[in-house]
Structure 1
Amino acid sequence: MENKTSLKIRNLVKYFHEPETFQVLKGVSFEVKKGEFLSIVGKSGSGKSTLLYVLSTMDTDYEGTLQINGDLLTGKTQNQLAAFRNEHIGFVFQFHYLLPEFSCLQNVMLPALKLGKYSTKEIEHKAYESLRLLDIEGQALKSANKLSGGQQQRVAIARALINNPSIIMTDEPTGNLDSKNTEAVLDIFRGLAKENGQTIICVTHDKDFANNTDRTIEMADGLII
């Protein structure tokens, strides 16, 4: 099977201008293959979270180029990027950002309802499948705030999967989890990369977690070391 490039950045430069101008990314370049599970590590202030925001297309104020699935995303409008993100990228954050008053099922359905490709009935079916994959369909009708931290993080991952994104980007996905749940999340991501060919890009402080991914990029002072 040919190894296609999932994501490619070239000479990424990024400045912050508050309180004074500061260069946070200093010409970062790398490629990620389809179905690769990549971790990005580095001390606080190394630029790893800033890099993830640029990769996720949410931050467009940079120099250099970003390509995902062969599409050049640099220079596209906010509306074009929002549509691209919703279809191609799934997000999992340290804080799950679930809507507490909604059920787990409703939380998972939201990105698909926004995409508008399928009927509500089809989306509900896909959401149940997503929850089943994460072994949490039994909690589908509970409101999100009634779940444990580990369960909430699984629901957040199920939500990230609903539109079948080619890339899943995660920022400290195990930051609030105990070792048992961390191990479970690691296994889930490994399975998605291996079995579904989905690309996982994970920013993490957790060295053990990073050591269990396919490849680790270490950053310091805005550069890959």
Structure 2
Amino acid sequence: MNEEIALSARAISKYFHEPETFQVLKDISFDVKKGEFLSMIGKSGSGKSTLLYLLSTMDTDYTGEITINGECLTGRTQNQLAAFRNAHIGFVFQFHYLLPEFTALDNVMLPALKLGKKSQEEIREDAYSNLKMLGLEAQAMKQSNKLSGGQQQRVAIARALINQPAVIMGDEPTGNLDSKNTDIVFEIFRQLAAERGQTIIAVTHDDEFAQKSDRILELGDGRLLN
């Protein structure tokens, strides 16, 4: 396994069986380098979100092979995959999924507390550091439901980073944001990739967002078009 490769997909195919059998992904293969900011685009129904769901290991019903950080994840148990996800994959969704009654800081700490590799004090310091990096140190002790939409999405990014994941996966991460906050989130991703070597894979409908990333993968009718 090439040490420069963060994620590798080999001959990925997937079928849906309801209401009738339909092949949604057709023999997809590609690599993502460490520190690369990759956008996946395609019309609705092209298979891009389905592919991201497979890459994230949350769906295991496929043929082919997925490797992240040098570890082949195909064929592992659900418990093994859940543990791997928490340690190695950060998620940023269209909706932030923060716990509304928790502070921004507490929300960021949660995945690291679950992982249990550091003391609570170390985790608190890491979480605060992430919030500070994203310009949110003044909001750390606010309940997340008291933050603006753009601030909440930045808290979600800080949370995604807390376990220093091999890959951050974004599913329409700017889909609920106005143009100003979309630009802020894009710039955060760009800096994370360029300055921290963070690998980012984002599904997006935003052509401008995609065009500014390092590389675009376009899907159409379940196949890679480029």
TM surpasses 0.5: yes
* AA at the equivalent of 1:62: Y
Equivalent residue, structure 2, for 1:16: 16
SS, match of residue 150 in structure 1: helix
**Which stretch shifts more, 17-26 or 83-92?**
17-26
Equivalent residue, structure 2, for 1:102: 102
| In 2: Cα distance, 1:60 partner to 1:22 partner | 17
SS, match of residue 57 in structure 2: coil
SS, match of residue 114 in structure 1: helix
| In 1: Cα distance, 2:37 partner to 2:218 partner | 14
Equivalent residue, structure 1, for 2:177: 177
Matches within 5 A, 1:65-144: 65-144=65-144
For residues 125-172 of structure 1, the C-alpha deviation after alignment (integer angstroms, 9 at most, x for no partner) is 110001001101111111111111100000000000000112100000
**Which stretch shifts more, 47-56 or 189-198?**
189-198
Matches within 5 A, 1:53-72: 53-72=53-72
1:5 Cα offset (Å): 0.6
| In 2: Cα distance, 1:196 partner to 1:86 partner | 20
- The answer as to whether partners of 2:38 and 2:213 remain within 8 angstroms in 1 is yes
* AA at the equivalent of 1:50: T
SS, match of residue 24 in structure 2: strand
For residues 25-60 of structure 1, the C-alpha deviation after alignment (integer angstroms, 9 at most, x for no partner) is 011110000000000000110000000000001110
Equivalent residue, structure 1, for 2:145: 145
| In 1: Cα distance, 2:51 partner to 2:213 partner | 18
1:178 Cα offset (Å): 1.0
Equivalent residue, structure 2, for 1:156: 156
Equivalent residue, structure 1, for 2:34: 34
Equivalent residue, structure 2, for 1:5: 5
SS, match of residue 192 in structure 1: helix
| In 2: Cα distance, 1:147 partner to 1:35 partner | 30
Equivalent residue, structure 1, for 2:208: 208
| In 1: Cα distance, 2:15 partner to 2:3 partner | 33
Runs of 5+ consecutive residues of structure 2 not aligned to the other structure: none
Runs of 5+ consecutive residues of structure 1 not aligned to the other structure: none
| In 2: Cα distance, 1:66 partner to 1:45 partner | 22
1:196 Cα offset (Å): 1.1
| In 2: Cα distance, 1:3 partner to 1:59 partner | 25
SS, match of residue 142 in structure 1: coil
* AA at the equivalent of 1:147: L
Q: How many pairs were matched up?
A: 224
Q: CA RMSD in A?
A: 1.0
| In 2: Cα distance, 1:64 partner to 1:96 partner | 31
* AA at the equivalent of 1:77: T
- The answer as to whether partners of 2:37 and 2:190 remain within 8 angstroms in 1 is yes
> TM-score, normalized by length of structure 1?
0.98
1:3 Cα offset (Å): 6.8
| In 1: Cα distance, 2:166 partner to 2:3 partner | 14
Q: Which runs of 4+ in 1 moved over 4 A?
A: none
